Every structure is written in structure tokens, then in C-alpha cells.
Amino acid sequence: MTDQSPRDIYAKTALSSVSTSTSYWPSSASSTQRKGEAVEATETGTLPVPLLADLDAERGVLGCMLGGDEWTSKAAAQLKPEHFYDPLHRLMFQVMSDSGSSDRARLLIDIKKIGSGFTSGDVVLRTNECGDFIPSPANLPHYVAPLKECERKRALCEAVVTSQSLIKNGASYAEAMIGLDKLLSECDASEGEKSTHKEQILNVIDRIEKCQTGEIGAMGVPTGIPNLDYLTNGIQPGDMFVVAARPGMGKTTLGMNISTHAALNAKKGVLFFSLEMDYARLLMRAIASVTEVDMKRMETKGALTSGEITKITRATGKINTSGLRIIDKPGMSLFEIRAICRSMCKAHKIDLVVVDYVQLVKVPGFKPSERVREIAEISLGLKALARELGVGFIVLAQLNRESVKMGGRRPIMADLAQGGSLEQDADAVALLHKPDPEDDIVTLILDKQRNGDTGMVNLLFRRSINKFEQATPFD
């Protein structure tokens, strides 16, 4: 008995219900079923065709492609053969996409050359059906969206079936979750629009032209530290920026400073994951940095003036209506972070994600002795997520204990705790260093930058209001 993938099983089930005639649905199907709305499952337990496919949309796309070579190219740039549920539809799309031709005679000849098992009558009949189905090729976008949605549903079904199979074969919960997460990641990653080499080149040229005219800028999400922004051009979409420091050096403060500046001043959407500090404490820090009111005085009875209370009230209102969202939950897994990011990015405009901090993130299934491998999995996962979502990531990290024992020695990337993979995966790495323990000057060492120069930025750490400010020009 040959192995069959879940996708093959679903396709086989579909073929039993799909006719080669103009009537794609069983004669007993109701009008509701024809629209693809929820229906009861079959006796075999598999999902019925209307839940997994939109055959009208498939015919619509193919009809548009038959409307001319231009429409064939447009459809091929947005879809893949996997988006088609019906085997003959899938084949027709593949052949027309490869040839770039909408010619019906050529379509028939090319399919016959392949030896697909479909008769000439099958191909001619289906071609005529598709060609007669649409009022105009300009309706192509109307048909593309349902196909993508159905393909994602089928991928989800496949992921669930695979997880069930893993558990049936003795896999642990953690192993099944890892497998499911990877399948879902692949599903989401494949959702992006397919573009040709030529289109990508034209997009780059267009971007350069717009930068030259001032229509757009190269700046990503600004950090609020001018010299750091000068070096980096801000946090770029899809990049992972690692900020590492010894305990108590202020990495959380710096992360919050950047987050509040991006949300309040640059009007960016920011998602801040706090695995160490609770929401109330983080909000207090944000209010203190924005208002420059001493945190100790905020928590001391009767210490605030009426003017300071007004400042705090206004700052709280601005933060509340800004794009800053804080998720505080200790012991979060990579899967949870990934799920929340995907959900939030779909519901809101998110430009920056901050994770505080990476060594507190977990991946189920790893033993304490496998911590280096676990951090590698987390690092790779966060970088992939940044690329997938097109969002800049700031990942805060601890330096190892050995670097702390070395006293005032300047840290290097090798000091990242279990962080060889972080150093490798990051697009930029910055290390916080305090040369003089008695001084409030903290040096931000930009030790790696994949797309620019390295350098140092001196910062003044105003601990009482939890705020970093630029102190001197970078070296």
C-alpha cells in the first residue's frame, strides 16, 4: 500500500463528487451547498467539497486567462497550481502559466503531450465552460481571493491530520505542536503574492526613484536616538535587531523608550512582549519617560504637583490611543508569540515587535541540557517571523555570566548567553556597556550591521525617569 498525503486523500474525495460536465455539484446538493457554506460531513468523516473548494472561482480564473495572454500572465503572477482543487483545472492553469499563452488550441495540444489521462473531449468541454463562465477578464481579482482562502483551508486540514497522525504514532504533545506549528508557518509563508524577477526589479527601481524625489524615505521605524537612527536608518521591515546587556544595564528601558517613541511620535504600531515585567510596571516606566516625572515621586503619597498630575493624565491618554500594545506573560513559548504576532498583524497595523527577552522564551520539548539548541530554534523562528510579516523586530537578550565576572570589560557578541545563533541570525547587534560604574553614561556598541556601518553611540541613562537620551556624537 502506497503512502498518501492528506492532500491526496482530500483530492480523491473531491473527484468522487466532481463531474466533468457543467454540473460540478451533486444533483442532491442544495443552493446553500453550492455557495460553499457549511454542510454536514460525509459518512467517511472527510469534509465535503464545498468547504474545501470554490469551483466557480476556479472556472472564473481560467476563463479570465483564456481572455488573452495579458490576463494569463496576471493570473500566473498571483496563483500557483496548488490553489486549484479540481485536477483538470490545476493542469489547465499549469499549462497556460508555463506557456504564457491563452490560445485554446495550444492548450489542448500541450495537455495531450503531457499524457495526463484526460481525453480531448474532457479538455474541450471544460475549456468552453470556463471561457463562457465570465462576463469579463477584468473580474480576475474577484476570483483570486476565494482560491487562496480555500487553499489555506486545505493546508489547515492537512496540518490537523498530520498532527493526529503524529499523536497516533506515539508523539508527545510538544512534538505534535512543533510539527503543527511548522506546517502552519509554511502555510502562512506561502500566502504572499508571487512576483516575477522582472516585477521585483521594477519595484526596486520605483523605490529608488521615490526616495530621490522625497516621496518616500529610507527610514524604518525610528528609535528616537538621532545618532543610532543615522547609523541604522531605523529598524527596517523584516530585520531582527538584537540588543544585549548585562543584568541591570537598562535593556528593558531602552526597548520601552524606542517603543513609546515609535508609537507616540512616529505613529507606528508597536507590539511589546514582556516575559519578565508586568504591564503596570512597564506602563509606569513609559509614563515616567514621556512626562519626565520621577517614578519614586509617582508612588509617594502627596508628592506630585497638580501640573505633574495633568502631565501624567495627558500622557496616559496618548499611550492609550496610540499603537502601543503590551503583552505581559511569563514563560511564553515561541508558538504563542508567533500566533499573537500573526493575529495582531492581521487585525492592526504593526510596524515593530519587541521581545523582552529572548532567553525567557520557551520551545516545548527541549530539555534544560539542550538550551543552546532551543535558543537557536527561537532565534531562527523570530527572524523567519520578521521576514514573513515584513515587520522590524527588536529582540532583547542577556549577556552570559562570564562577561559579568570580567568586570568593566567591553562586551563582545561572543558574550551573548547561548547566543551563537542570535549573532548569526540578527541583521544588527547592539551591546550596552557602562565603562564607569559611577557614571550615568552608557555606550551602545553597534557591533554588527548587515546593511550598514558599525559604530558607538553614547547615551545618558536618567534612571529616575527610566529614559535614555543621546549624550555625545557617535565615535
Write out the chain's pLDDT in tens, 475 residues.
Answer: 444 443 443 344 333 333 333 323 332 333 333 333 333 333 334 556 667 888 899 999 999 999 898 888 888 888 888 899 888 999 999 999 888 888 888 988 888 888 778 888 888 999 998 988 888 888 898 899 889 888 888 888 888 888 888 888 887 776 677 677 767 666 665 555 445 556 667 777 776 776 777 666 667 899 989 899 989 989 999 999 999 988 888 899 999 999 999 999 999 999 999 998 888 889 989 999 999 888 888 888 888 888 889 989 999 999 999 999 999 988 888 888 888 888 888 888 999 999 988 889 988 778 888 888 888 888 888 998 999 889 999 999 988 766 555 556 788 787 776 667 888 889 999 999 887 777 888 889 998 898 888 888 999 998 888 889 888 754 4
Supply φ then ψ for residue 341, to 5 degrees: -60, -45
pLDDT of residue 8: 44
> Alpha-carbon distance 59 to 77, whole Å?
17
Residue 72 in 3-state DSSP?
helix
- Grid-cell match 442532491, residue found: 28
Q: How far apart are CA 138 and CA 132, in angstroms?
A: 14
Count of Cβ atoms closer than 10 Å to residue 12 Cβ: 12
Statement: the pTM of the whole predicted model exceeds 0.75: no
Residue 12 identity (one-letter amino acid): K
Contact 295, 288 (CB under 8 A): yes
The residue ranges of DSSP E strands in 333-475, in sequence order, are: 352-356, 392-398, 428-433, 441-449, 455-462, 467-472
Residue 156: partners with Cβ closer than 8 Å, 6 or more residues away: 184, 187
Cα–Cα dist 39/47, whole Å = 9
What confidence score (pLDDT) does residue 27 get? 29
Could you give the count of Cα atoms lying within 13 Å of 295 in the half-sphere of its Cβ? 17
Topology at the third CATH level for domain 218-472: Rossmann fold (3.40.50)
The DSSP bridge pattern shows strands 467-472 and 324-328 to be: unpaired
DSSP secondary structure string for all residues of 402-420: HHHHTTTPPP-GGGBTT-H
The whole-number pLDDT of residue 218 equals 64
Can you tell me the distance from the alpha carbon of 129 to that of 127, in angstroms, rounded to the nearest whole number? 5
CATH of 6-198, one of 1.20.59.10, 3.40.140.10, 1.10.860.10, 1.20.1440.230: 1.10.860.10
Contact indicator for 357, 275 with CB cutoff of 8 Å: yes
| C-alpha distance from residue 431 to each of 25, 248, 435, 445 (Å) | 63, 13, 12, 5
DSSP string of 239-294? -EEEEEE-TTSSHHHHHHHHHHIIIIIS---EEEEESSS-HHHHHHHHHHHHHT--
Cβ proximity of 61 and 75 under 8 Å: yes
Peptide bond between residue 85 and the one before it cis (omega within 30 degrees of 0): no
Determine the pLDDT at residue 262: 93
Residue whose C-alpha cell is 483530492:
11
pLDDT for res 351: 94
Residue 120's pLDDT is 87
Q: Where are the CATH 1.10.860.10 domain residues in the chain?
A: 6-198
C-alpha of 391 from chain center:
7
What pLDDT shows up at residue 197?
59
CA distance 395 to 321: 25
pLDDT given at position 249: 85
Q: Could you tell me how many residues make up the chain?
A: 475
Would residue 409 be called left, alpha or beta, if left means φ above 0 and alpha means ψ between -120 and 50 degrees?
A: beta
Q: Residue 419: what pLDDT?
A: 62
Q: What is the pLDDT of residue 198?
A: 61
pLDDT on residue 2 = 44
Boundaries of CATH 3.40.50.300 in the chain?
218-472
Distance CA 270, CA 354 (A): 8
Whether the CB-CB separation of 104 and 66 falls below 8 Å is answered with yes
